[in-house]
Amino acid sequence: MDRIEVLKRNLGRVVVRRDEGEERLSIFTDPGVEKEPLPMRKANAFALLLREAPVHIYPEELIVGIPFRETPSREDPATRVIIPEGVSGQGYIDQGHRLNATGLSDEPYSPIVPSLKGYGVSTRYALFPHYATEEEIAEARRSGLDENSNPGHLQAGHFRVIKYGWSGLKEMAEEGLSMVDDSEMGRRRADFLRSVIICLEAAQAFALRYSELAREMAEDEGSPRRRGELLKTSEVCWSVAERAPETWWEALQLNWFTHLISHAQGAHQLGRFDQYMWPVLERDLERGGVTVEEAQELLECLWLKFCMLTEYTMDNLQNIILGGQTPDGRDATNPLSYMCMEATDRLETIDPKWSIRVHRGSPEEFLRRAAEIIKEGKSQPGIYNDEIIIEALQRIGVPLGDARDYSNAGCSEILVQGRWVPWAFEGRVKLLKCLELVMRRLDEFEAFDELMAALRDEISVAVAMAVSSLNLLQRAVPRISPNPWVSATVEGCIERKMDLTEGGATYNYAAICASGVADTADSLAAVRKLVYEEGVVEKRELMGALQTDFEGHERLRQMLLNRAPKFGNDDDYVDSLAAEIVEHTSGEVSRHRNPRGGGYNLGLFTYGDYIAHGIVTGATPDGRRAGQGISPNFSPCPGRDRKGPFAAMRSTAKINQLLTPNGTALDLMLHPSALRGPEGTDKLVSLIQAFNKLGGMQVQFNIVDGDTLRAAQLEPEKYQNLTVRLWGFPAYFTRLPQEFQDHLIARTEHTV
Amino acid sequence: MVSIVVTMSGATGLVFDLKHFAVHDGPGIRTTVFLKGCPLRCLWCHNPESQSPHPEIITHPERCIACGACVDACPTGAISEPGNIDPVECTMCGGCVEACYAGALELVGEPMTVGDVLGEVDKDRVLYESSGGGVTLSGGEPAAQPGFAARLLRALKERGYHTALDTCGHAPWGTLERLLGYVDLVLYDLKHMDPATHEELTGHPNDLILSNLERLNERGTPAVNVRVPLIPGYNDSDGHLRELGAFLSGLGRVDAVELLPYHRLGIPKYGSLGREYALSHIEPYEKGRLMEIREFLEGFGLDVILEGVD
């Protein structure tokens, strides 16, 4: 069996430990600790965590380091023992659902995602040692935060870590420390820089533990081949601790350690992996330090490490993005871009999640390779349109070179890699909920324009509420949970001597995500046409029908569903309403500022909340029943786009996507028969190119037919590897809750 | 009245479907315009609603909410219970379809002008450009609406689109030839080589179809792909395939032979039209058999495309 097979087999050998109680570590065992400033306590807790984390090397591993929630089994060291939430994540989906399934909410808005406590501010890795004072904890609790809270959808500055190494970053911090003065501000800066240095040193010590372990294992190893590998591993881990990476192996090991540690601190994404890793590989190849085959094997070893963090019912946000442009505007694809695709294709795993950036000069070969993998039904990659995204970033003031260095954040949001702390997804506006509220006053509006004006006002209020809630949170987080480790890596923090939670990063935008654009536009189109233009529906009748969830009004509901234009069919009547709503919402969002010194950007994302937002929204005049799910992300409502995938693309492209710098995503389902053979690949490439030409921002495909999904519901055991794309990541279909399965089946599969 | 006058001048055509993102009707990504009305009555036809040259009402009982609006809307009393239309009494006024919000009644066959069609087709221009696609005229039988087909094809050519004509070949040569000047690719259907069997299966013998194909071959342009629907037990015997292969390779100018294996997707439509489906006993092919047939025909030096497998 070759190495990759052994590693894959080990991955599957998981024992879920259910009943062993977790003993919480604490830094308060030493006297006088509580007098230290918060950042120092946090950093010391971080160091304690890394000191106490179990270390283990599985058979045949070349890239080493196990997740903190894992211990090797004593009986069989090839078996991984994981606590339950490390497997199922106590999923976002479950949580969002549970919190909302109480029925229709009369509360007008819950501007922050309700599952915030569990996810938006990441506490999923509830393993952090106790470090905060009782007063700090009490204050944090008022905002729903605790010692495990970190801003969600964070991205560590991986490119800086590879470039400078931990040691280089430490030197920067030390240099900064030598320059701070003795003022109050100077002391705060010094505390921050010290906290950064403690974290970097803790990481170095962590790597050295692995170096030591590998050397000890080498001594007991019978096979000369494996002994050599373990000695080499030991050397690599030592180098990683001491300096910037010089070899491909070192770079991969450093990337994994950095990711593993960051992952437990709320930073889950890898950014432009092919860009920051390629220079090291290129040098190593030129020098003859590694062959292409060895480099590929090492890369796949890393890929399988990412799979140790796979969660089945939620997005673990472990994203990389390939291709695109260099900061000086050249095509950025390189041999590593292809090696990454090769690894993903061959290993058939859903981690790492990956996407591609496409611009006018993207090589045909790159697009074709990506299209081939999409066609295989792997539900990856998502496609990002460079031309629109770079311009959208420039429009909000990001310099061109940095704009060209964007990557995706947690799911599909846009940020400049390694320099940007986003708060990308916590603030929400439910457009359809706004409309539901306005509809209760329908009889007050003489003309359709009055209804629109009322809706605009309602949206403005919802945006302001979401912003003020999110601003409260952004102020609260640094008072309970500074993040010195991720701050050590993100550009700007060491330079400004300020934690990322306080605004240390180079870019500090926050975002408001609006859901239900399609549903709201469909609703408005129906009211405009049937009530105001044709007069075939009475206002009172419609209001009554909505209040009673269409009880006794099924014919009216059918009229609303079938006799008014629907978003996604390239019909200006309804698409222009969607454009108007987005334009207004964008304007409102961008008026606001956040306490970290940045502005606000609009995104059109629902994430998994297309179910939850539906549950809290009553019947709406698009014919949707109370509680039914809404449109996912920036997509047409399930089953309502009937004129082919390009019509859906054209509808979305009518909305000016320069107004949504936080990102949008069109989710499309294509029937596999539409894309058979090499010609099918060409057609998919053409479709992607046409989408970009229209000015679409992001598109993601599901290549699967409804029959297969229905069959998988009936006989899940036969379809365990069936992968579908949810709101921004691939997931195993049969492991999803029923309502998510059904929602996917209801989406239109575009056939031929 | 929704009664439709398809004028002799061909200013208006009767279209029963307009399919965006069509990927099996010629090169690239295309828009396929389906004209209603066909001279043939192939037993396996998967678009039975395409056959009649008149608008038709089809039913989708699964969508019916039994509101009774169609009963109230019918001026002749042809509808005694929701969704159940007496074809003798029905005058095709379309009142019931208009009243049926649930979409359980559907009028198939929409009169469209050349401008209407262009309006739809132009939307996909970017897609034709990026994929090397264009527009395909299909049916029914486009040559059964010769005036409209010619006007539409000419307008498409004037816009610079790649055009394909999907025809069953059963039309006077002069009618077909009028269209060919505006066509880049002909998708020419051929069902059976034997005239008597052809008549049994389609309602007409094949002499006109074969002679038109020979003339098309002699004409030199446009390019021709011959499409053969493969119907298990009806036209897939070795003897027939041999005759077919010999004829097509003898023509010399056939660019490709597309095999369209029998499928059952059209069967529900017969129910919607209140018609019987003659071939319900047939099972679709196993992949292995299709590969055999392809290989067999390739033995004649033909370039064979196996739809749905390749």
Contact by Cβ (8 Å): A218, A230: yes
Stretch A102-119: mean pLDDT, rounded? 44
Selecting from A563, A643, A680 the residue whose C-beta is nearest the C-beta of B20 gives A643
Reported ipTM: the value is: 0.88
Residue A334 Rama label (left phi>0; alpha psi -120 to 50; beta):
beta
Cα(A352)–Cα(A311) distance, rounded to whole angstroms? 11
Choose from A566, A622, A679 for mutation: most chain B CBs within 10 A.
A679
pLDDT at A676 exceeding the cut of 60: yes
Q: How far is CA B128 from CA A365, A682, B25, B123, in A?
A: 20, 12, 13, 10
pLDDT digits (tens, 9 = 90+) for A269-315: 999 999 999 999 999 999 999 999 999 999 999 999 998 887 655 66
Query: What's the pLDDT score for residue B9?
Result: 67
Neighbours of A437 (CB within 10 A): 18
Stretch A721-732: mean pLDDT, rounded? 73
Cβ A646–B124 below 8 Å, yes or no?
yes
Query: What's the pLDDT score for residue A351?
Result: 86
| Residue A673 in contact with partner chain B when CB distance is under 8 A | yes
Chain B nearest CA to A561, separation (Å): 8
Cα(A743)–Cα(A738) distance, rounded to whole angstroms? 9
Cα(A89)–Cα(A93) distance, rounded to whole angstroms? 10
Chain A nearest CA to B101, separation (Å): 5
From the list A84, A71, A123, the residue with the least C-alpha distance to A312 is: A84
Contact by Cβ (8 Å): A418, A157: yes
Selecting from A643, A644, A683 the residue whose C-beta is nearest the C-beta of B131 gives A683
CA angle at A63 for the pair A60 and A69, rounded to the nearest 5°: 95
For B114-122, which contacts have Cβ atoms below 8 Å and span 24 or more sequence positions?
Answer: B114/B11, B114/B13, B114/B148, B114/B151, B114/B152, B114/B155, B117/B13, B117/B15, B117/B18, B117/B33, B117/B152, B118/B155, B118/B156, B118/B159, B120/B18, B120/B20, B120/B31, B121/B31, B121/B33, B121/B156, B121/B161, B122/B159
Selecting from B22, B29, B310 the residue whose C-beta is nearest the C-beta of A687 gives B29
Q: Which amino acid is at B287?
A: K
Selecting from B20, B67, B103 the residue whose C-beta is nearest the C-beta of A644 gives B20
Cα(A516)–Cα(A527) distance, rounded to whole angstroms? 16
pLDDT at A164 exceeding the cut of 70: yes
| Residue A644 in contact with partner chain B when CB distance is under 8 A | yes
Contact by Cβ (8 Å): A182, A190: no
Cβ A555–B19 below 8 Å, yes or no?
no
Selecting from B102, B131, B309 the residue whose C-beta is nearest the C-beta of A686 gives B131
Selecting from A562, A643, A693 the residue whose C-beta is nearest the C-beta of B126 gives A693
Query: What's the pLDDT score for residue A675?
Result: 85
Identify which has the larger pLDDT, A255 or B278.
A255
Report the range of poorest mean pLDDT among A25-29, A340-344, A374-378: A374-378
CA angle at A32 for the pair A27 and A34, rounded to the nearest 5°: 60
Neighbours of A197 (CB within 10 A): 22
Residue where the block lists tokens 């234009």? A565
Query: What's the pLDDT score for residue A681?
Result: 92
Residue A175: phi, psi to the nearest 5?
-65, -45
pLDDT at B4 exceeding the cut of 60: no
Neighbours of B116 (CB within 10 A): 15
Closest chain B residue to A641 measured between Cα atoms?
A: B20
pLDDT digits (tens, 9 = 90+) for B180-231: 999 999 999 999 999 999 999 999 999 999 999 999 999 988 999 999 999 9
Strand partners, B261: B230
CB pairs under 8 A between A and B: 77
Query: What's the pLDDT score for residue A106?
Result: 46
Neighbours of A410 (CB within 10 A): 27
pLDDT digits (tens, 9 = 90+) for B143-155: 999 999 999 999 9
Residue A743: phi, psi to the nearest 5?
-60, -40
Chain A nearest CA to B174, separation (Å): 32
pLDDT digits (tens, 9 = 90+) for A113-158: 443 444 444 444 556 889 999 999 999 888 778 887 877 788 999 9
Cβ B103–A643 below 8 Å, yes or no?
no
Integer Rg of chain A from CA: 26
Tell me, rounded to whole angstroms, the distance of Cα A208 from its chain centroid: 31
Neighbours of B102 (CB within 10 A): 23
Chain A nearest CA to B262, separation (Å): 15
Query: What's the pLDDT score for residue A15?
Result: 76
Query: What's the pLDDT score for residue B247?
Result: 96
Which tokens is B184 given? Answer: 């880049």
pLDDT band at A748 (very low <50, low <70, confident <90, very high): low
Query: What's the pLDDT score for residue A752?
Result: 43
Report the range of poorest mean pLDDT among A262-271, A500-509, B152-161: A262-271
CA angle at A488 for the pair A486 and A490, rounded to the nearest 5°: 65
Chain A nearest CA to B126, separation (Å): 6
Query: What's the pLDDT score for residue A92?
Result: 38
Cα(B98)–Cα(B75) distance, rounded to whole angstroms? 13
| Burial bucket for residue A243 (CB in 10 Å: 0-12, 13-18, 19+) | middle
| 3-class secondary structure per residue, A348-392 | CCCCCEEEEEECCCCCHHHHHHHHHHHHHHHCCCEEEEHHHHHHH
Cβ A676–B310 below 8 Å, yes or no?
yes
pLDDT band at A610 (very low <50, low <70, confident <90, very high): confident
pLDDT at A727 exceeding the cut of 90: no
Cβ B130–A750 below 8 Å, yes or no?
no
Choose from A358, A364, A622, A682 for mutation: most chain B CBs within 10 A.
A682
Report the range of poorest mean pLDDT among A184-188, B85-89, B185-189: B85-89
pTM over the 0.95 mark: no
Cβ A676–B131 below 8 Å, yes or no?
no
Cα(B193)–Cα(A307) distance, rounded to whole angstroms? 58
Which tokens is A712 given? Answer: 């998988």
DSSP characters over B177-219: HHHHTT-SEEEEE---SSHHHHHHHHSS-SHHHHHHHHHHHHH
DSSP H helix total and E strand total for chain A: 28, 18
Q: Which helix (H) or strand (E) holds A302?
A: helix A292-306
pLDDT band at A728 (very low <50, low <70, confident <90, very high): low
pLDDT digits (tens, 9 = 90+) for A472-486: 889 999 999 999 999
Parallel, antiparallel or unpaired: strands A698-703 and A666-670: parallel
DSSP characters over A154-212: EE--HHHHHHHHHHHHHHHHHHHHTT--SSHHHHHHHHHHHHHHHHHHHHHHHHHHHHH
| Residue A570 in contact with partner chain B when CB distance is under 8 A | yes
Residue A730 Rama label (left phi>0; alpha psi -120 to 50; beta):
beta
Cα(A127)–Cα(A69) distance, rounded to whole angstroms? 8
Cα(A586)–Cα(A659) distance, rounded to whole angstroms? 6
| Residue B29 in contact with partner chain A when CB distance is under 8 A | yes
Cα(A358)–Cα(A667) distance, rounded to whole angstroms? 17
The three-class DSSP label of residue B1 is: coil
pLDDT band at A104 (very low <50, low <70, confident <90, very high): very low
| Residue B278 in contact with partner chain A when CB distance is under 8 A | no
Q: What value does the mean pLDDT of chain A take?
A: 89
pLDDT digits (tens, 9 = 90+) for A402-437: 999 999 987 789 999 999 999 888 888 999 999 999
The three-class DSSP label of residue A327 is: coil
pLDDT band at A169 (very low <50, low <70, confident <90, very high): very high
Stretch B30-48: mean pLDDT, rounded? 95
Residue A358: phi, psi to the nearest 5?
-125, 130
Residue where the block lists tokens 């491909």? A248
Chain B nearest CA to A602, separation (Å): 28
Query: What's the pLDDT score for residue A148?
Result: 79
CA angle at A34 for the pair A29 and A37, rounded to the nearest 5°: 130
Identify which has the larger pLDDT, B238 or A708.
B238
Residue where the block lists tokens 């090769």? A342
Cβ B126–A563 below 8 Å, yes or no?
no
CA dihedral sign of residues A32, A38, A44, A46:
positive
pLDDT at A723 exceeding the cut of 90: no
pLDDT band at A745 (very low <50, low <70, confident <90, very high): confident
Chain B nearest CA to A733, separation (Å): 25
Which tokens is A577 given? Answer: 């309403």
pLDDT at A570 exceeding the cut of 50: yes
Cα(A437)–Cα(A449) distance, rounded to whole angstroms? 16
CA atoms within 13 A on the CB side of B292: 10
Query: What's the pLDDT score for residue A1?
Result: 67
Stretch A76-93: mean pLDDT, rounded? 58
**What residues of B are in contact with residue A644 (Cβ under 8 Å)?**
19-21
Which tokens is A164 given? Answer: 């400078």
Query: What's the pLDDT score for residue B269?
Result: 86
Query: What's the pLDDT score for residue A444?
Result: 97
Query: What's the pLDDT score for residue A101?
Result: 31
Task: State the helix-helix crossing angle for B146-158 and B114-121, rounded to 10 degrees.
Answer: 40
Neighbours of A398 (CB within 10 A): 24
Identify which has the larger pLDDT, B88 or A168.
A168
DSSP H helix total and E strand total for chain B: 11, 13
Cα(A384)–Cα(A405) distance, rounded to whole angstroms? 13
Query: What's the pLDDT score for residue A88?
Result: 40
Contact by Cβ (8 Å): A520, A581: yes
Cα(A674)–Cα(A89) distance, rounded to whole angstroms? 36
Identify which has the larger pLDDT, A630 or B2.
A630
Cα(B98)–Cα(B70) distance, rounded to whole angstroms? 8
β-sheet with A427-430: strand ranges across: A427-430, A510-515, A600-604, A663-664
Query: What's the pLDDT score for residue A380?
Result: 82
| Residue A643 in contact with partner chain B when CB distance is under 8 A | yes
Contact by Cβ (8 Å): A607, A515: no
| Residue A559 in contact with partner chain B when CB distance is under 8 A | yes
Query: What's the pLDDT score for residue B83?
Result: 80
Parallel, antiparallel or unpaired: strands A382-385 and A698-703: antiparallel
β-sheet with B162-167: strand ranges across: B110-113, B12-22, B30-35, B134-139, B162-167, B185-189, B223-230, B254-261, B304-306
The three-class DSSP label of residue B154 is: helix
- Strand segments, DSSP code E, in A59-155 are 70-72, 80-82, 154-155
| Residue B305 in contact with partner chain A when CB distance is under 8 A | no
Closest chain A residue to B22 measured between Cα atoms?
A: A752
pLDDT at A96 exceeding the cut of 80: no
Cβ B102–A570 below 8 Å, yes or no?
no
